[in-house]
Amino acid sequence: MKWRPGAGRIRLLPRLSAANSGKVRERLMKIYYNKDANLRVLKKLSIAVIGYGSQGHAHANNLKDSGMNVTVGLRKGGASWKKAQRAGLPVAPVAEAAAAADLVMLLVPDELQADMYRDQLAGKMRKGATLAFAHGFNIHYHQIEPRPDLDVVMIAPKGPGHLVRSTYVGGGGVPCLLAVHQNPSRQAKKLALAYGAAIGGGRAGMIETTFCDETETDLFGEQAVLCGGLVELVKAGYDTLTEAGYAPEMAYFECLHELKLIVDLMYEGGVADMFYSISNTAEYGAISRGPQVIDAAARQRMKTMLEQIRSGEFAREFVLENKAGAPTLKRSRTRMSEHSLEQVGARLRGMMPWIAKRKIVDRGRN
Ligand code: NAD
Ligand code: MG
Ligand code: MG
């Protein structure tokens, strides 16, 4: 396949960082809170949030509730246009919103960002404006080379967008990573801090990092632990029980439903609170059998995955997947929806109306 210049090009070597150069870093993490952010610098500006998906709806609504001047940039007639309007937000076509903004937060899917920057932002954004990201992929892997007059920052919430919204509404916030990639104005960090605070991150903590470290840790976390590792662990446990002849309903409760109760305990008080709450039988089973599931070979495979992220191999694969129309993703979504875990789960959740009543994801609204 021939690379087009600009969008969609993968340089095999991502940007270098201390981590990439193999040096061990021993620096204290700096964590910022609301007291370190000055919301006034942001109140004077007009903000365009491009995209109204998981992150987009959360940023736009949190910014608005924090008193900021925000417009949502979307495709005219796209599915999100009405959702954003119904939330009481001003909506405009992408290029128009970008042209009128001092700060543009790009929250369309990563695989669309390079084309969107090239076609609708690069020629429209104001001189000296700020281009912001919630994930470093396109900068780190050279898919976007921003105009030199732009400040380029990242405010990356460490949680799903729907929780960025629901946690903020509940008075809390989701921790964020902040980074500055370009800083011609010398104001980039101040703006990033204010933006992070305005979406709720300053309540939980905002860690200053680099586009490189955010990208590599984020990809690794979602692949190995949070999304990839977890779903396979649940499926493998469910399959083991059902293939041995146990009831799918029991397997579902055991391997998926109960996970939330366990994770809530870890979220509140770490592994210690979880072990405190479960039986000694469960704790002994956990410490003696857990390392057999995640054994030395699994840890070695995690190291290999991290290497594929750092070398750019994963990024290249993902860019190619999307150029081919995302066949692997589409196939996997169909296969997963047909898995009995998902079908049994839908039926059982239907019997627990309080779950539906407090659902974080409501596809018609967010
Ligand atoms: P998403 O898939 O949930 O939403 C994308 C939105 O973009 C759509 O809802 C639509 O409104 C809009 N859109 C799509 N195509 C468009 C087009 N051609 N023109 C205009 N608008 C278009 O995306 P997301 O998961 O919120 O991801 C956005 C960014 O946030 C990514 O960089 C991602 O890595 C980052 N991020 C996401 C999460 C998360 O929780 N999903 C967490 C941290 C960081
Ligand atoms: Mg998404
Ligand atoms: Mg991610």
What spacing in Å lies between the alpha carbon of 51 and ligand 1's midpoint?
A: 6
Cβ–ligand 1 distance for 132 under 6 Å, the answer no
Angstrom CA distances, 227 to 151, 261, 341, stand at 32, 17, 16
The pLDDT assigned to 10 comes to 53
pLDDT for the residue 4: 41
What are the Cα distances from residue 139, in Å, to 68, 210, 258, 328, 346? 26, 11, 39, 24, 39
Active site residue 135: yes
Q: What separation in Å is there between the alpha carbon of 353 and the centre of ligand 3?
A: 31
- Provide the pLDDT for residue 5: 38
The pLDDT value recorded for residue 8 is 46
CA distances for 147 relative to 125, 127, 181, 261, 300, angstroms: 10, 9, 12, 47, 40
Give the pLDDT score at 16: 57
Which tens digit of pLDDT belongs to each residue from 185-196?
999 999 999 999
Determine contact, residues 49/70, Cβ cutoff 8 Å: yes
Joined together, the tokens standing for residue 361 give 């994801």
Which of 49, 50, 55, 226 has most ligand 1 atoms within 8 Å of CB, for mutation?
55
Q: Which pTM does this prediction carry?
A: 0.90
For residue 365, the model assigns a pLDDT of 77
The candidate with the shortest Cα–Cα distance to 206, out of 158, 143, 267, 257, is: 158
Per-residue confidence (pLDDT) for residue 312, from 0 to 100: 97
With a 6 Å cutoff on the Cβ, whether 109 touches ligand 1 is yes
The residues of the chain scoring below 50 in pLDDT are 1-8, 12, 22, 24, 26
